[in-house]
Amino acid sequence: MESCRDRGRAWLAALARHHLAPAQDPCLPWLRRIQEAPGAGDPHHPGAEEDAAGRGSGEDDAERREGENRFGCAGQDGRHAQACSGGRRRHLRRCSAQRSCSGAGIASVALSPPALPTAKAAASGLHASSVPTKSARLLQCARDISLFRLGRSVNIGAVISNESVPVIIDIPASDIEPDPVSTGAEASGTEIVLVTTGATASDEPDPVTTGAEASGNETFSYFSGRWLSCLCSSFDLFKNCCASLYNWWLVHVFQAACFYRDWSYQVIGIKKCPENASLFDMLDIFSTAISIGELKKRIHKVENTVSEVKKAPLLCVASNSTQSDIANKNRRRLGAASKREVFGREVLRDDIMARLRETPQVDEPSSSPCYSVIGIYGVAGSGKTTFAGYVRDYIKEECKEEKLFDTIMCIHVSETFSVEDIFQEMLQDISEDSLSSISDHRGLNKKLKEALRGKRFLLILDDLWVKNKNDQQLEELISPLNVGLKGSKILVTARTKEAAGALCADKLIEMPDLDEDQYLAMFMHYALSCKSIALKEFEQVGREIAKKLHRSPIAAVTVAGRLGANPNISFWKNVAKLDMLNDTMDALWWSYKQLNPDIMRCFEFCNIFPRRFKLDKHDLVGLWIAQGFVKTSCPTEDMEDVAEGYIQELVSCSFLRPDDYSEECFAIHDLLHDLLAKVAGSDCFRIENIWSHIGEGWKGEVPRDVRHLFVQNYDGELITKKILALENLRTLIIYVVGYTPVEEKVIESICKRLPKLRVLAVAFGEDYYVIRKPDGFSVPESIAQLKHLRYLALRTHSSCAVTLPSALPKLHHIQLLDFYKGKILEFPFADLVKLRHMFCRPNLKFRNLGRLISLQTLPSCFTVSNEQGYEVKQLRDVNKLRGRLDIYGLENVKSKEEALEANLAAKERLTELCLVWFGDDDTRCSPEVEAEVLAGLCPPVGIQKLVIHGYRGSRYPDWMVGKQSGGPDGLRNLQLQRCSQLGPGPQFEAFPHLRVLYIWCCSWDSLPGNMEHLTLLENLNIVGCKNIRCLPALPQSIEWFSLTSCNDELMESCKTAGHPNWQKIEHIPRKRFSVI
């Protein structure tokens, strides 16, 4: 039994291996075809009796015994014995019918191979093996699919034999007569007859028609004995015979079959196996391919959609930009785009300014409000928000001498708003700082009244949606305003006349359209302002496009942005023919479809955030990467750089608008939000619950298939009742927490019930939005159940101690851990090799930092010590660090060789480096050793700021004072603190681009003598240097000079007119002298 089973398995493995390797499968199709041939191995089939009659029973028994001995199965198992006995043929036929993919629609073609009985004998060995039925059936199915693709009868053109010998292969049956396909020369002496089987397999024999005059049964009898003997004598001989058949008789057929089979493998998703793979490895691969069949279909459908878009007439001129081009664009464009140009609004501006200058009438009753209201209304995208910002900037910059207002507040209201949030923003505009210690309505109201009392203010309320003055929230909003001076103003912008008039009965202004020339000027500015090309040809086409946009400003900036990305006149002309540009939303849709598909996915994700939400650049980058939306073009390219390129692209085409106060923040126009809502469907959802209604229960319903969810305010009951049932959720962002206690059991429930989360962010906001209660926050051990988690943000206050779970290393895919200012004493989880960013209070100790090879952001300094895991060599392989790196405890580094192990020069993405020595003389190395250590800590070439603190070396290294190549020759900012060397300061010849020099408590007796050669130096600060008594010649480029708590003689001489020190700083426009 075991011998039979082992031989059968080896036989089947050999067959499968031949089948999955296209160039090595000459014999397997014959096995499959004869196995399924009508009447194969069936004694009741016509011709079987003739076969038996032509051979004596003794001959038949001898042959059977020989076969049994060869296969090792005689008398050992009834089932295997049946397969090897005379009754084997019925069993073989039934198995063949069961294991075929489908009996329906399969036809047969009789060809001429003399290897037919060999295949039949091999089929006996095939059925004698013990193979899982399902896996074998899947393998049979894949083979049938590959040959089913042939779809035609095939005529072999080579002259093979003068006699016709039947061979069976499968082709799809059809009601239409199949057309013969000839390969090579005309067949000679070979007759091909098409035979179609029934719809289903049956136990009854099926008639077979052949074109040969010779009896098929005699052919079966003759070749059966011959080829069975050959096979049994040597398996190698069998393979050679099959290869010979492949080479001489069926070259074209098998080449075609292999081609179509490989094509079908690609469709199904089967991977090619190595030659030494086991049978079950191959079957596992096939089973996996079948299990992902549905996913393949969905991906194929998406790819077809993308292909259709690419073939559309809108894209007849291909863009030359690639992902790497986008990622490497000049980042200065972000700054340039932050100030949006305003066209054709001078008349409206002057009208508004005249109203803002109006003073209250003398006879106005004292009970009347201290403010008057001006309302502007217009359709979405007409430029109201841009104009409101333009008025604010005009007052601050052009009218600052008039001092029209003591304070200006610019607030976006939106359809759903929180009074407390608006109060916070108003206080921030007044004091330029947020009051994180106050979060309740009464406290904010009181603080706002104190800030506005006795001041003439301008309040801009942008995008107001309320319809009448009796709205409760609106009354709460304006309640603290009446403490200001008479003459204060409120400027309201709204989409409807009713909303604009909610605070005033008159003085409503409708947003006017731009005239044609002004609109064209704006359009061409956003399309070609930065392009050095001939404008006349483009202006003519641009005018045609602009006319179709019906003077909509938002349509102009978005469409122009996409045209500017492809300054090709043929592309512009094709766009000018599009009728869809006549509608604003269709024009936005067209602009959106021009984006790179990866950028489209990233932009669609932004629909998770509320309207006019301030999108932080670093948050967007981290979220996009966590969702897998960012694709790199090469292994050395960082996903962060590519994602920032995506942001630049979205800014350049006005899909993202830079914030007025920060180039790191962005907003999305309301109409683009409407577009995203249609594109994203139910994938993204927002719960904009109001803080004051927490505990009352949110009344809405969340779609069951939502994937990305944003919750405005933390509500444990809401999470428990509405969110934990969302089993497909990938993103959960809870924006505001504040003083609401975060129950650890709620976080634990999230970890247990939402296993597909990739992003979990609680207290996504900062400052007064973060977690404050409880004082000690423990991350639950169940966090390990979030196997797919990439982004974990539990932002806590600086007063909150965070306890990390021991199961944290089980988050194998985690990329970002953000605890904001939470206190974490130690981070012993060096196994998180995919961790890219870590944020917490800067007092964290990292043991075995060297294992975190993907780390880019280090939340605190790295302190070198003599303990294991804190050596300076831990920095050797952490070469993806970016931003700032502080290294403390350098007194524990004992040699230059040890310092070189830090490999600082390889950390090319660092922009700031701080090197710190501590300790007294008893714990420190000699000055000569410290000099060698600093020489081994040469920073990377691209460093912009360098701080050296507590250095007592005997000299400064060549990379600081010489012109040695390889040092940070592009250094802009140098700070030397508590450096103890006698004599003059070092000569900074290695830093010709230095702009800021800060010298603090150094023991030098004079400044470097070559400072006059630092021709780009702009800022010079000297603090606490008691030994310096005179100044060297200073460069003319210095604009700021500060002398603080230095030698009294030096400070006095610098303020004495005519003194040499005074003369050396006379040319500097701004100077400061102070004593601390």
Residue 1037 belongs to a domain = no
Query: What is the widest separation between alpha-carbon atoms in the chain?
Result: 135
Mean pLDDT of the chain, nearest integer: 75
Lowest mean pLDDT among 59-73, 337-351, 663-677, 715-729: 59-73
In the predicted model, is pLDDT for residue 700 greater than 80?
Answer: yes
Q: Which residues of 179-200 are buried (b: 16+ CB within 10 A; e: fewer)?
A: eeeeeeeebeebebbbbbbeee
Q: Which DSSP letter does residue 857 get? A: B
Q: Which pLDDT belongs to residue 692?
A: 57
Distances (CA, A) of 881 to 545, 637, 838, 878, 910: 47, 14, 11, 6, 6
**CATH number of the domain within which 478 lies:** 3.40.50.300
In the predicted model, is pLDDT for residue 211 greater than 50?
Answer: no
* Residues 150 and 219 placed together within one structural domain of the fold: yes
What average pLDDT does range 685-711 have in this prediction? 82
What average pLDDT does range 234-242 have in this prediction? 56
Lowest mean pLDDT among 219-233, 1001-1015, 1040-1054: 219-233
pLDDT above 90 covers what percent of the chain?
36
Lowest mean pLDDT among 67-81, 429-443, 816-830: 67-81
The Cα angle at residue 816 between residues 814 and 821, in degrees rounded to 5: 135
In the predicted model, is pLDDT for residue 125 greater than 90?
Answer: no
What average pLDDT does range 1022-1030 have in this prediction? 93
Q: Which residues of 639-656 are buried (b: 16+ CB within 10 A; e: fewer)?
A: bbbbbbbbbbbbbbbbbb
Confidence of residue 362 (pLDDT cuts 50, 70, 90): low
Q: How far apart are CA 210 and CA 515, in angstroms?
A: 85
User: Do 988 and 974 form a contact (C-beta atoms < 8 A)?
Assistant: yes
In the predicted model, is pLDDT for residue 833 greater than 80?
Answer: yes
Q: How far apart are CA 592 and CA 672, in angstroms?
A: 9
Q: Which pLDDT belongs to residue 506?
A: 66
* Residues 171 and 185 placed together within one structural domain of the fold: yes
* Residues 219 and 94 placed together within one structural domain of the fold: yes
pLDDT per position as a tens digit, 154-193: 333 333 333 444 433 333 333 333 343 333 333 333 333 3
Identify the burial level of 636 via C-beta atoms within 10 angstroms of its C-beta, where 0-12 means exposed, 13-18 middle and 19 or more buried: exposed
What the block records as the tokens of 946 is: 């360098």
What average pLDDT does range 221-226 have in this prediction? 48
User: Do 972 and 1001 form a contact (C-beta atoms < 8 A)?
Assistant: no
Q: Which pLDDT belongs to residue 32?
A: 43
Q: Quickly tell me which residue has 């927002």 as its tokens.
A: 686
* Residues 505 and 520 placed together within one structural domain of the fold: no
Confidence of residue 199 (pLDDT cuts 50, 70, 90): very low
pLDDT per position as a tens digit, 128-144: 333 444 444 544 554 45
Beta-strand ranges (E) seen in 495-597 are 508-510
* Residues 579 and 633 placed together within one structural domain of the fold: yes
- Host domain of residue 833: 682-860
Confidence of residue 359 (pLDDT cuts 50, 70, 90): confident
In the predicted model, is pLDDT for residue 252 greater than 80?
Answer: no
Q: Which pLDDT belongs to residue 636?
A: 84
Confidence of residue 830 (pLDDT cuts 50, 70, 90): confident
Which has more pLDDT, 530 or 850? 850
In the predicted model, is pLDDT for residue 350 greater than 70?
Answer: yes
Domain end point (choices 860, 885, 907)? 860
In the predicted model, is pLDDT for residue 594 greater than 60?
Answer: yes
What average pLDDT does range 272-281 have in this prediction? 46
* Residues 561 and 489 placed together within one structural domain of the fold: no
Nearest to 825 by CA among 849, 805, 850, 802: 802
Residue 335 belongs to a domain = no
pLDDT per position as a tens digit, 909-954: 999 999 999 987 778 899 999 999 999 999 999 999 999 999 999 9
pLDDT per position as a tens digit, 1001-1022: 999 988 988 888 899 999 999 9
**CATH number of the domain within which 749 lies:** 3.80.10.10
* Residues 501 and 523 placed together within one structural domain of the fold: no
Residue 806 belongs to a domain = yes
Which has more pLDDT, 501 or 227? 501
Domain end point (choices 661, 691, 711)? 661
* Residues 702 and 746 placed together within one structural domain of the fold: yes
Element (H, E) at 181: strand 181-183
Domains contained in the chain, number: 4
Which has more pLDDT, 1049 or 50? 1049
Q: Which pLDDT belongs to residue 155?
A: 39
In the predicted model, is pLDDT for residue 739 greater than 60?
Answer: yes
Domain end point (choices 836, 860, 884)? 860
Q: What is the DSSP string of 886-929?
A: EEE-GGG--SHHHHHTT-GGG-TTEEEEEEE----TTTS--HHH
* Residues 72 and 195 placed together within one structural domain of the fold: yes
HEC assignment per residue over 27-74: CHHHHHHHHHCCCCCCCCCCCHHHHHHCCCHHHHHHHHHHHHHHHCCC
Confidence of residue 966 (pLDDT cuts 50, 70, 90): low
* Residues 566 and 686 placed together within one structural domain of the fold: no
Residue 955 belongs to a domain = no
Q: How far apart are CA 97 and CA 109, in angstroms?
A: 18
Q: Which pLDDT belongs to residue 608?
A: 95
* Residues 252 and 308 placed together within one structural domain of the fold: no
Confidence of residue 655 (pLDDT cuts 50, 70, 90): very high
What average pLDDT does range 432-455 have in this prediction? 78
What average pLDDT does range 775-791 have in this prediction? 93
What average pLDDT does range 864-887 have in this prediction? 94
Q: Which pLDDT belongs to residue 236?
A: 59
Lowest mean pLDDT among 268-282, 584-598, 691-705: 268-282
What average pLDDT does range 501-529 have in this prediction? 85
Neighbours of 817 (CB within 10 A): 25
pLDDT above 70 covers what percent of the chain?
66
Confidence of residue 111 (pLDDT cuts 50, 70, 90): very low
Residue 153 belongs to a domain = yes
